[in-house]
Amino acid sequence: MTISEFQEFIRRKYYARDVERGTPGTFMWFVEEVGELASALADGDDLNKEEEFADVFAWLCTLANINDVDLTKAIEKYTVRGVEGVKD
Query: Is residue 68 pLDDT above 80, yes or no?
Result: yes
DSSP the chain: --HHHHHHHHHHHHHHHHHHHHHHHHHHHHHHHHHHHHHHHHHT-HHHHHHHHHHHHHHHHHHHHHTT--HHHHTHHHHSTTSTT---
User: pTM for this structure?
Assistant: 0.88
For the chain, the domains span 20-79
pLDDT in tens, 23-46: 999 999 999 999 999 999 999 888
Nearest to 11 by CA among 67, 82, 61: 61
pLDDT value for 20: 97
66 contacts: CB under 8 Å, gap ≥ 6: 15, 18, 19, 22, 23, 26
Query: Is residue 69 pLDDT above 90, yes or no?
Result: yes
Percent of the residues in the chain that have a pLDDT greater than 90, as a whole number = 81
Note the CATH architecture for domain 20-79.
Orthogonal Bundle (1.10)
Cβ(88)–Cβ(79) below 8 Å: no
